[in-house]
Structure 1
Amino acid sequence: MKIAFAGKGGSGKTTLSALFTRYLAAAGAAVVAVDADINQNLGAALGASPDDLAGIPPLGTHLDEIKEILRGDNPRIASADAMVKTTPPGRGSRLLDMSPRNPLHSRFGLPASGATLMVTGPFSEDDLGVACYHSKVGAAEMYLNHLVDGPGEYAVVDMTAGADSFASGLFTRFDVTFLVAEPTLRGVGVYRQYAEYARDHGVEIRVIGNKVQDESDVEFLREHVGSALAACFGHSPFVRAMEKGRHPDLSELEGENVKTLAWMRDSVDAATKDWARFTRQSAEFHARNARRWANAATGADLESQIDPEFVMGPEALEAQRA
C-alpha cells in the first residue's frame, strides 16, 4: 500500500511518518520510506546518522538517471528528455517491485530502522531563486507511478507541508492519506484545504489528531473535521524524545499510542486497491500537464505517451518478469 503523511508544518507528520515506518518494519513488513518534504528530516527521525544521510544520492538530483531506468524500452517514450514527472508507465516501461532488486532501492536507498529510506533531497545553491521544489518531488511521483506494491508491502511518504502536493497528480498516488492535525484552527485548516482539493478524485483522507492532551482537544477536532477524524495520539514522552533527536526502543511507546498505530495499519490494509483508477488518474493528470506546459517545454506531443491498453498492477509486473 502507498501511504502519505500530510499536514501543516510542525504538526508532527514527519515524526508520525517515522513512527509508523518503524512500527511496520518491526512487524516484519517490507517498508520503503520516502522523504518528500522540503525540510528533509525523516532520515534523522528514523535514526540515520548525518554521515549516512550525506551518502544517499537524492532522487531529485538524478532525474535523468531515474527516467532512463523507468522508461525501459517503452516505444512511446523516445528518450529521457521526453519524459516528465507525470509520464505514466506503459507496455515496455520498467515497473518496480518492493524487492532489493528494485534498481531505485539499490541505487538510492539506505537501510534505516528496518526500512529502506529514499530522499528527494534539499534545495541546492543552484536551485535558489530559479527552481521550485516540485521539480524534486517529481522524482517521488515517477517512483510511485511505476511501483507495484503487494500485500504486506508499504511505501510511506512524508509529504511537503500544507497543500503543495496538489501542484501535480502526486496526491492521487496513495491508497490512504493520513493528515496529521493538531487541535488548533491552523491544524484543521490544512485538512479543509486538502479535502476540498481532493474531493473529486477519490482520495482517502483520514485525520490523525496529534499532540492531543484531553477530551476537549478530541471534541475540537471532531467539531472541525467530523467523521474524517480516525484516531489520536495523546501526550507522549516517547514522541517527545523522538522530536528531540533520541530514538527510544519501540517497546517503550505508550500502550494507547501502540493501539493507534495498530489501528492505522489495519485501516491501511483494509483500503481498496484500485489499479484501474490508479492508471486512469495517471493518464488524466499527464494529459492535463501535457496540454498546460509539457508539450511546449519538450516540443513533442506528450499525450501520445499514454498507452490506452495498459493497466498498472500485478498482472503488468508479471508480464514484465515473463
Structure 2
Amino acid sequence: MKIAFAGKGGSGKTTLSALFTRFLAESGHTVAAIDADINQNLGQALGVPADELAALPPLGGHLTEIKDLLRGTNPRIPSAEAMVKTTPPGRGSRLLALDGDNPVHRRFGLRTAGGAVLMATGPFTEDDLGVACYHSKVGAAELYLNHLVDGEGEYAVVDMTAGADSFASGLFTRFDVTFLVAEPTLRGVGVYRQYADYAREHGVRIMVIGNKVEDGADLEFLREHVGDALVAAFGHSRFVRAMEKGRHPRLDELEDDNLKVLAWMRDAVDATPKDWEAFTRQGVEFHLRNAEAWAEAATGRDLRGQVDPDFTMGPSALAASRRPAAS
C-alpha cells in the first residue's frame, strides 16, 4: 500500500511518519520510506546518523538517471529527456517491486535500524535558490510511485511537504491512503479543509489523525471540524519528546494507547481496497493535463503519445515485465 502523511508544519506529521514506518518495519513488513518534505527531517526522526544521511544520494538531484532507469525499453519513450515527472509507465517500462532487487533502492536508499529502506528527495541547494520550486525535486518521488507495484504486506510511506503544496502536481493521487495529521487548533484543521476540497473530485481517501490530543475537549474540537474523517487520536507522549531530543527508545516503550493507534492505522490501511485501474487512469489524466498545460511546450515533444492505452499498472504488469523477451 502507498501511504502519505500530510498536515501543517509543526503538526507532527514527520514524527508520525517515522513512528508508522518503524512500527511496520519492526513488525516484519517490507517498507520503503521517502522524505518528500522540503525540511528533510524524516531520516533524523528514524534515528539515522547524520553522516549516513549526508551521504544519501537525493532522488531530486538524479532525475535523468531515474528516468533512464524507469523508461526501460518502452518504445513510446525514446530518451530520458522525453520524460517528465508525470510520464506514465507502459509496456517495456521498468516496473519496481518493494521486495527483492529494486534498483532505485539499491542506488538511492539506505537501510534504517528498523529495517525500512529510506530515500529522500533532497533539500534545496544554492543553485536552486530563487530559480526552482520544490516540486521539481518531488517529481522524482512521483515517478517512483508511478512505477511501483506494491504487494500484500508491503508499504511505501511518504512524508509530504507541509500544507497543501502537494496539490501542485498529481502526486496526491498516488496514494491508497492519506493520513492527515491535525492538531486540535483552527490552523491544524484548516489544512484538512484545503485537502478535502482539492481532493474531493479525485477519489483521494483522507483519514485524519488527531495529534497532541490532551483530553475530551480536544477530541470534541476535532470531531466538530473534521467530522467522520477523524479516525484516531495520538496523545502527548514522553516517547515522542525523547525522539525530539535526539534519543530513539525501543518501540515497545511507546505508550500503550499510542501504540494501539499505530496498529489501528495499519489495519485501516490494510482494509483499504486496492484499485490499480483507478491508479492507472488518474496517472494518465494528470499526465495529459500537464502535457497540455506546460510540458509539451517545455519539451517540444508530443507527450500525449507516451500513453499506452492497453496498459494497466499492477501485479500482472509487473509479472509481464519480468518475463524474458521472446526471441
TM-score in terms of structure 2 length: 0.98
Q: 1:182 maps to which residue?
A: 183
Q: 1:92 maps to which residue?
A: 92
Deviating more after overlay: 152-161 vs 91-100: 91-100
Matches of 1:175 and 1:129, distance apart in 2: 34
Q: 2:135 maps to which residue?
A: 134
Equivalences for 1:300-315 in 2 at 5 Å? Answer: 300-315=301-316
Aligned-pair identity in percent equals 77
Say if 2:153 is the partner of 1:152.
yes
Asked if structure 2 preserves the Cα contact closer than 8 Å seen for 1:100 and 1:106, the reply is no
Q: 2:3 maps to which residue?
A: 3
Q: Which amino acid aligns with 1:247?
A: H
Q: 1:105 maps to which residue?
A: 105
Q: 1:271 maps to which residue?
A: 272
Matches of 1:286 and 1:245, distance apart in 2: 41
Asked if structure 2 preserves the Cα contact closer than 8 Å seen for 1:95 and 1:320, the reply is yes
SS of 2:96's equivalent in the other structure is coil
SS of 1:35's equivalent in the other structure is strand
Q: 1:43 maps to which residue?
A: 43
* 1:241 positional shift: 1.2
Q: 1:208 maps to which residue?
A: 209
SS of 2:126's equivalent in the other structure is coil
Q: Which amino acid aligns with 2:77?
A: I
* 1:243 positional shift: 1.8
Matches of 1:109 and 1:24, distance apart in 2: 17
* Deviation readout 1:33-84 (Å, 9 max, x if unpaired): 0000000000000010110001110000000000000000100011100100
SS of 1:8's equivalent in the other structure is coil
Q: 2:14 maps to which residue?
A: 14
Matches of 1:147 and 1:161, distance apart in 2: 24
* 1:100 positional shift: 4.1
Say if 2:253 is the partner of 1:257.
no
Q: CA RMSD in A?
A: 0.5
Q: Which amino acid aligns with 1:19?
A: L
* 1:99 positional shift: 2.2
SS of 2:142's equivalent in the other structure is helix
In structure 1, the gaps of 5 or more residues are: none
Matches of 2:100 and 2:245, distance apart in 1: 32
In structure 2, the gaps of 5 or more residues are: none
Asked if structure 2 preserves the Cα contact closer than 8 Å seen for 1:211 and 1:235, the reply is yes
Matches of 2:242 and 2:220, distance apart in 1: 27
Equivalences for 1:265-304 in 2 at 5 Å? Answer: 265-304=266-305
Asked if structure 2 preserves the Cα contact closer than 8 Å seen for 1:290 and 1:303, the reply is yes
TM-score in terms of structure 1 length: 0.99
Q: 1:196 maps to which residue?
A: 197
SS of 1:292's equivalent in the other structure is helix
Matches of 2:306 and 2:165, distance apart in 1: 26
Matches of 1:146 and 1:114, distance apart in 2: 22
SS of 2:133's equivalent in the other structure is coil
Matches of 1:84 and 1:33, distance apart in 2: 23
